Structure formats: structure tokens, C-alpha cells
Amino acid sequence: MTDQAKDRVYIFDTTLRDGEQSPGATMTHDEKLEIAELLDEMGVDIIEAGFPIASEGDFRAVSEIAERSKNSVICGLARAQINDIDRCWEAVKHANRPRIHTFIGTSPLHRAIPNLTMDEMADRIHETVTHARNLCDNVQWSPMDATRTEHDYLCRVVEIAIKAGATTINIPDTVGYTAPRESADLIKMLLERVPGADDIIFATHCHNDLGMATANSLAAVEAGARQIECTINGLGERAGNTALEEVVMALKVRGDIMPYETHIDTKKIMHISRRVATVSGFPVQFNKAIVGKNAFAHESGIHQDGMLKNKETFEIMRPEDVGLAGTSLPLGKHSGRAALRAKLKDLGVDVGDNQLKDIFVRFKDLADRKKEVFDEDILALVTAAMTDG
């Protein structure tokens, strides 16, 4: 790996595969094509477009996304079975830059499901990764439930996959069980112990069951992982996957302590977030980092006053950088006179100090009865103050 590649973190988006696996998040064919196009345009390095063997619909979607792809690598998922891998290749092979992603569960719990011994599973990994590599020169392999797999066995199977031709090794925290320090130690351990580890890219794939997916992903990057697997709005199985917007903005905002770059055009974040929320039917929580309705909104008087004087007082990033028009200062019962004055100015209402005092009293009274005070409410208060006064 070159030094330059080491500082670059590749963004692998799996909204259309792991994201779509959220119960109820199914997207139509056309919606998937639209989201894939937006991901490609925003600079996502690798798009996991689906699981081609899962259904005829998934196969068609992955094939068409591959055919229409421009810059992004298009990846399909396949279990560790020859027919799965062949089907995946049939779907992704039309892409400018195809990738096969094959996986098998390596932890004791997951090994028990196909009832394979450790040696039998190791042979299966060798056979299937070799097969994938004979079809495609870009192969990703994942030991599912890696964070609950014995370290010696994990090192052994990762080495087998690398020798069989895998170019990316993804380390999934399938059940969101790990914590930041452990996530970092695992990547460090693999880089130190596995022969050939320096020649491939390690990826981190975290789930959010304990709310640590973003922290775990960034810790893995600090330890040497160079691909983050994530989804828009953190969509995904159970509590979801690492949110793309969170890791990308964390790397952008805290480049001083995490000197890694992505090629994401962050100004496109808000639009794709809204489209994914709409097509998946999963609304974004109001206080969600980066893309929530309140992420750049300030209601309390002290905060609004600070924001009106200097935006950096209460904002660590610019709303414009994620594609918003600007900060919002919604008026509510916690708002102060400075925000009311600014709002009146915005609305083109010019009032003197005494009138402002009167309107402010009326505004506080209304705000006690109403969650949010809108522009029309303010204009009505101004009219009332003028009439009564």
C-alpha cells in the first residue's frame, strides 16, 4: 500500500444491500437506480448494490446499477457458495469497475449453522475466494461476526483469503458488540499478525446495536483500516449500520486529530438523506447527527444570541457544507429578544425599541402555549401590537 493510499479512506456504501435489509425498508427498482446514481455522483467509492442471488428483483437491480455506473466500483454480495458467486458476477460484470463481495460466518455461533469444522470452513474459504478471484480481479471477503471470532482462527482465515486473492478484507461487527478500543485492537492485531496484510485494504463494517458504530468505525481507521462500510442515515438491520454522513463529517471536521480524507462531496449529503428517508419509509429522527431536522437549529435565547454574533459559538460545522441553506433559529418559548429582532428584520418589519418590547411580551405569551412560533404568528403579533398600541 502506498503512503498516499494510507491517508485516503474509501467509502463503501451499503444502503442498497444492508440498508434495504431493515424490515420494511424495501425500495422499488427505480428508487434503487436513483439512489445508486446519487451515491455515484456524491463520490462514494464502492456501492454495494444488492445481493444478486436473493431474488430476481435484486439481480435485475444490481445488473442495471452496474450497467449505468460511472465512477463508483459496483459490488454485489454472495455467500461462500460457487453458485452464489457466479450469480453475483453475472450481475456486476457489466460495471466499469466490478467487485465481488463474498462472506461466511466465522465465529463459533456462526460456524455451527452450516455445521462445518474449522478446517472444513478454511477449505471452503480458500475454494470460494479463489473462484471469485478467477472471475474478477476485485474481490472482497468478510468473516461475518469477526468481532466474536477467536483471534487465532480469524488470523488463519484472513491469511487464507488473502492468499486466495482477496484484495479487501472486511471485518464486520455484525451484531454491534464491539467497543472503540477493541475495534482498533482487532485491526492492529490483524495488521501485525497476518502475512500479506500490508498488501490489501482492511475495511470496517459496524452495526449500531449499542450506539457505537461511528466510534468503532473511526477507531478502526485510526488503527489502519482504510475502508468504512456505511449507509445513508445509518439505515440497516436492527439498530442500523454506521451512518455515512457521520463518519464523513467527523473526518472532515476533526481532520486535525484524524488526518484521513474521503472523496465525498459533502454538500450532497442532505439531499440523498431526504431521498433515502422517503424511498425507504424510514424518517430521520429530529436530533440525528448531521441530517436531523434539529442538527443545525437553535431555539434557546443564549444560543440564538450567540449564533447571531458568531456562528462558531454553537456550530462546529457549516450547514452549507452538508447541503443546507443555513442555520435555523426557530422561535419558541426559550428564544430571546435578539432572535425576535432578527426574525422581524428577516420579515421586513421595522420596529422601535418600545414596540419590540411589546411584541416580545406577546410572543412569550404565545410561545408558552405553542411548541413553535411560525412567521405567520409573528406577523399576526405585529399587527395586534400596532392595532392595540
For the bound state, the minimum distance from the C-beta of residue 161 to ligand KIV, rounded and expressed in Å, comes to 13
Annotated ligand binding at 271? The verdict is no
Would you state the cell numbers that stand for residue 186, as one nine-digit string?
A: 482487532
Which is nearer to ligand KIV, 172 or 224 (by Cβ)?
172
For the bound state, the minimum distance from the C-beta of residue 340 to Zn ion, rounded and expressed in Å, comes to 48
**x/- site string to ligand KIV, residues 119 to 148, per CB under 6 A?**
-----------------------x-x----
Looking at the chain, which runs of residues are DSSP E strands? 10-13, 46-50, 73-79, 98-105, 139-144, 168-173, 201-206, 227-230
- By CB under 6 A, tell whether 202 contacts ligand KIV: no
Which of ligand KIV, Zn ion, none does residue 72 bind to, with CB < 5 to 8 Å depending on kind?
none
Q: Name the β-bridge partners of 107.
A: none
Which is nearer to ligand KIV, 103 or 296 (by Cβ)?
103
Annotated ligand binding at 388? The verdict is no
Annotated ligand binding at 205? The verdict is yes
Annotated ligand binding at 241? The verdict is yes
- By CB under 6 A, tell whether 32 contacts ligand KIV: no
Q: Residue 346: count other Cβ atoms within 10 Å of its Cβ.
A: 11
Q: In terms of Cα–Cα distance, which of 292, 296, 298 is closest to 342?
A: 298
Which is nearer to ligand KIV, 84 or 299 (by Cβ)?
84
- By CB under 6 A, tell whether 228 contacts ligand KIV: no
CA pair distance 63, 128, nearest whole angstrom: 21
CA pair distance 328, 303, nearest whole angstrom: 11
Q: Which stretch binds ligand KIV (CB under 6 A): 109-117, 169-177, 263-271, 293-301?
A: 169-177
**Contacts (Cβ under 8 Å, ≥6 apart) of 258:** 218, 221, 222, 250, 251
Q: Which stretch binds ligand KIV (CB under 6 A): 53-61, 148-156, 170-178, 281-289?
A: 170-178
Cα first-last separation, the chain: 74
- By CB under 6 A, tell whether 208 contacts ligand KIV: no
CA pair distance 162, 164, nearest whole angstrom: 5
CA pair distance 8, 123, nearest whole angstrom: 33
Give the residue numbers of the binding site for Mn(2+). Answer: 18, 205, 207, 241
Residues at the interface with ligand KIV (CB under 6 A) = 18, 103, 142, 144, 170, 172, 174, 205, 207
